[in-house]
A and B are shown apart, each in its own frame.
Chain A
Amino acid sequence: MFCEKAMELVRELHRAPEGELPAFSEDGLRQVLEEMKALYEQNQSDVNEVKSGGRSDLIPTIKFRHCSLLRNRRCAVAYLYDRLLRIRALRWEYGSVLPNALRFHMSAEEKIGRIPSTQKLETHYVLFSDTAISRKNLYEVRCLKDYGEFEVDDGTSVLLKKNSQHFLPRWKCEQLVRQGVLEHVLS
């Protein structure tokens, strides 16, 4: 039956819980596009037959194929757009750099398309830090990797070596915690 593949794409996304990004089904999308091409070509030839040969009994078939084409397009665009929504939600959570496991599931176009927009705004406002209110001002953190020199607000610099522990102001270390360089120590 027509539009089977398109429905499968939509179902795949529908099954995945919110926040999860399954791998991009390039194959699936390609099959949908191929089916659309085949349907369109069949319709073209039938339309010619109707015009030249007067075969108006073909009109219902043409209408039916047209509906399938519209459905295929709707499913394909819905699939792509829903993936964009998921990627966008993940970006809000993770910041500018998405973890590698996720990037593996994204198509090449998905990876390049999205970054420029928020960068422009970020030059005006710092958006990705300050995502949670905390009572404490200074965090105790342990360093997970060798990072090097790190300058704190009043000009003193701190050497971040693996396994060294420090007391750092919250806003400075939040970014590093997200990147995995520092680890918050809960005592």
Chain B
Amino acid sequence: MTEELDLTGQDSDAGSEEVVLTPAELIERLEQAWMNEKFAPELLESKSEIVECVMEQLDHMEENLRRAKKGDLKVSIHRMEMERIRYVLSSYLRCRLMKIEKFFPHILEKEKTTHEGELSSLSPEELVFAKQYMANTETYLRNVALKHMPPNLQTVDLLRSVPKPDLDSYVFLRVKERQENILVEPETDEQRDYVIDLEEGSQHLIRYKTIAPLVASGAVQLI
């Protein structure tokens, strides 16, 4: 099972970068995406290529196992490995869905303003889910309460009423690539902003907002 996999970029006609990954590297990427998603307060970029490749990989493994001798010890061990990968994948997708459900007006608003070519934070299926969820919620509120209210009060601005993700929450991270001159904004009026350097391999507890772009680029890993 040491096949190599192709991870292609967004559009194949736009000069995609083809990154060839071993299965082990693919699973590592999945676990990194999973941990980042779990610890970040907002919805991160959609990694649908990784998800699809992992599902393909699981299918291959399933096929191989079916052809193998029954009762072989290797079969159970491989099955266990498959279960663990399935768990990580499920957990990753569930985490994203829960964040979509929690912050749906803000996420959909951001999608509207994302231009072509920029990476979206929703996969196509997730986008459908989010839109349906919004429609369902609006319909429900309208039918149960709002349509019975006086005419000038029948709309509720969900964008203002639903809480936003708290980007000021603190996260733990490990630095993968050395970063210099990260500007840390002050929290209170007495503090002033200061600049820090992040050494490779060091671990920090820091406000998410400060390092959000570094998570997206892969320079740091949330733990």
Interface-centre pick from A84, A110, A125 (highest chain B CB count, 10 A): A125
Please, how many residues of chain B have a CB less than 8 angstroms from a CB on the other chain?
38
CB-based contact A109/B143 at 8 Å: yes
CB-based contact B129/A127 at 8 Å: no
With contact pairs A69-B153, A130-B87, A137-B83 given, residues A114 and B136 touching in the complex (Cβ less than 8 Å) = yes
Whether A29 is near chain B, meaning CB under 8 Å from some CB there, is yes
How far is the CB of A87 from the nearest CB of chain B, in Å?
11
CB-based contact A113/B140 at 8 Å: yes
A-B contact pairs, 9 of them (CB 8 A): A33-B145, A33-B149, A36-B149, A80-B140, A92-B94, A116-B132, A121-B125, A130-B87, A154-B70
CB-based contact A113/B129 at 8 Å: no
CB-based contact B144/A109 at 8 Å: yes
CA gap between A76 and B90 in the complex, in Å: 35
- Measured CB to CB, the residues of A under 8 A from B are 29, 33, 36-37, 40, 69-70, 73, 76-77, 80-81, 84, 88, 92, 107, 109-110, 113-114, 116-118, 120-121, 124-127, 129-134, 137, 154, 169-171
Residue of B nearest to A26 (CB): B144
Q: Chain A residues near B89 (CB, 8 Å)?
A: 125
How far is the CB of A91 from the nearest CB of chain B, in Å?
10
CB-based contact B97/A73 at 8 Å: no
CB-based contact A73/B153 at 8 Å: yes
Whether B133 is near chain A, meaning CB under 8 Å from some CB there, is yes
How far is the CB of A172 from the nearest CB of chain B, in Å?
12
Q: Chain B residues near A170 (CB, 8 Å)?
A: 83
CB-based contact B129/A117 at 8 Å: yes
CB-based contact A125/B90 at 8 Å: yes
CA gap between A119 and B66 in the complex, in Å: 29
Q: Say which residue of A84, A92, A133, A137 sits within 8 Å of B87 (CB atoms).
A: A133
CA gap between A132 and B86 in the complex, in Å: 11
